[in-house]
């Protein structure tokens, strides 16, 4: 099956702890993205990566970190510096937008993180 | 400021009825406009993508229209089914930035039997 997977589906953490969300794709896409979704709001871009070993901050990168050591994987760490981490996190991938085009993004099923 | 506004926020209709969802945007320069369907607790799934030169595109019972002059789009759902219950999100891409997608907040559609 080709697709993009995220794990776990639900994650609970205590305030002050870092937590890492997994995202894996076997679509052979160069570009990967992390979004945050809050009730009543549009998706907001946290980080994106066009190619292995390269990534860029999105609109709300503060309190988050990422790595892109493999083409298939783009894990997101929610650090204790993120002031309001409870949210639904979505990972996506696409053909690389290196030529300036905006290609269709394919989304994973999401991880719902609750921090108390 | 680049923005995407959707209306209504939520909508309840009976199974079998048609409905139309609206999207207004102020994104410039415009690249393309997409409609996504998002089931509760799931990732969005693309329904249609339209560029500047396209003013209508269909995907089964879903038909999207685009008026680039008035910066408006609509998504029409024909003969609704219970499985159409979901949030429908309008997303506009700005041409000058590789990754700038401006997401609307979505319309939550509930189909009642």
Q: What is the pLDDT of residues A5-31, one digit of tens each?
A: 999 999 999 999 999 999 999 999 999
Nearest to B43 among A58, A104, A110 (CB): A110
Q: Given CB atoms, is B41 within the 8 Å cutoff of chain A?
A: yes
Are B89 and A92 an interchain contact pair (Cβ–Cβ within 8 Å)? no
Question: Can you give the pLDDT at residue A18?
Answer: 93
Instruction: Check pLDDT > 60 for residue A1.
Output: no
Instruction: Check pLDDT > 60 for residue A100.
Output: no
Query: How far is residue B63's CA from residue B78's CA, in Å, rounded to a whole number?
Result: 8
Mutate to test the interface with B, among A9, A96, A102, A106 (most CBs of B within 10 A): A102
User: Which residues of chain A lie closer than 8 angstroms to B90, CB-CB?
Assistant: none
Question: Which residues, in sequence order, are bridge partners of residue B4?
Answer: B25
**Unique residue bearing structure tokens 């907040």:** B105
**Unique residue bearing structure tokens 């038909």:** B63
Question: Can you give the pLDDT at residue A38?
Answer: 94
- The minimum CA-CA distance between B32 and chain A, rounded to whole Å, is 8
Contact B25, B90 (CB under 8 A): yes
């Amino acid at each position: 099956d080709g697709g993009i997977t995220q794990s776990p589906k639900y994650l609970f953490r205590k305030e002050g702890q870092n937590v890492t969300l997994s995202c894996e794709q076997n679509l052979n896409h160069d570009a990967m993205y992390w979004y945050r979704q809050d009730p009543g709001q549009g998706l907001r871009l946290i980080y994106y990566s066009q190619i292995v070993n390269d990534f860029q901050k999105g609109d709300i990168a503060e309190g988050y970190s990422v790595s892109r050591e493999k083409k298939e994987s783009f894990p997101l760490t929610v650090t204790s510096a993120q002031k309001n981490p409870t949210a639904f996190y979505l990972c996506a991938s696409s053909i690389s937008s290196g030529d300036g085009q905006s290609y269709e993004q394919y989304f994973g099923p999401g991880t719902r993180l609750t921090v108390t | 400021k680049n923005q995407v506004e959707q209306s209504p926020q939520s909508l309840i209709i009976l199974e079998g009825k048609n409905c139309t969802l609206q999207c207004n945007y102020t994104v410039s320069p415009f690249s393309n406009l997409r409609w996504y369907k998002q089931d509760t607790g799931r990732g969005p799934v693309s329904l249609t993508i339209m560029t500047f030169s396209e003013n209508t595109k269909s995907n089964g019972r879903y038909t999207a229209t685009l008026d680039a002059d008035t910066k408006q789009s609509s998504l029409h759902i024909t003969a609704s089914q219970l499985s159409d219950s979901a949030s429908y999100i309008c997303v506009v891409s700005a041409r000058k930035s590789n990754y700038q997608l401006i997401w609307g907040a979505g319309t939550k559609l509930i189909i009642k039997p």
